[in-house]
Amino acid sequence: MSTLIAEQLFSFCPRCGAHAFGWRYQRLFVCASCDFHYYVNAGAAGGVIIVDDRGRILLTRRSIDPSKGRLDLPGGFVEFGETAEDAIRREVREELNITLGDLDYLCSFPNRYAHKGVLYDTLDLIFVGRVHNLEGMRTMDEVEEIVFVAPTDVNFCELAFPSIRKALELYTARAAGNKPRAGASTS
Ligand SMILES: [Zn+2]
């Protein structure tokens, strides 16, 4: 099955049915017959860098396509009416059976996500989160394995998506820069 990008999705107008529905420019379809306008927007998705009390990052190995078998951050698509934080908390419960503590916004990066023949444009909103209690954590929805890695040991080639790689590059660079220098006073 070929994968369609946004401008290839529709050719018939959903309002009048004319075979005159075309991609006008970025995000916008227009019907040449009835002037119906329809925007295809990037989907919002949330991901979270969960750090344990030793500073290690929690990564999940994907059990489904796209990028099955590769490492990812917990998270997923934001539902209508949800905040990114709500979506991340819901996804973390569904994927790992744990409850997230505070979330701090880190960054956003665009991504493309292939599903059942459509390539969806997304905007991935990445947060840093803490978990106070990992008891009961287990692999659930869409997760094959849970992996903890030190920021210095992240294998960027093994990550599922460019947006996740860029967010982890940013986080690990900051974590390295924020470390106290050897011998520096901590007072
Ligand atoms: Zn029309």
- The reply to whether 91 and 142 lie within a common domain is yes
Q: What is residue 183's predicted lDDT score, i.e. its pLDDT?
A: 45
**The model's pTM:** 0.88
- The reply to whether 151 and 100 lie within a common domain is yes
| Domain range for 55 | 43-110+120-178
Answer whether residue 169 is part of any domain.
Answer: yes
Answer whether residue 97 is part of any domain.
Answer: yes
Q: How far is the CA of 23 from the centre of ligand 1 (A)?
A: 13
Q: How far is the CA of 9 from the centre of ligand 1 (A)?
A: 15
The stretch 158-180 carries a mean pLDDT of: 89
The stretch 170-186 carries a mean pLDDT of: 69
The model's pLDDT over 86-122, given as tens digits with 9 standing for 90+, comes to 999 999 999 999 999 899 999 999 999 999 999 999 9
Average pLDDT over the chain, rounded to whole?
92
Answer whether residue 58 is part of any domain.
Answer: yes
- Give the ranges where 43-161 is alpha helix by DSSP (H): 84-96
Q: How far is the CA of 18 from the centre of ligand 1 (A)?
A: 5
| Total domains, the chain | 2
Distance CA 129, CA 52 (A): 9
- The reply to whether 69 and 48 lie within a common domain is yes
Structure tokens of 134? Answer: 């990992």
- pLDDT of 178 over the 60 cut: yes
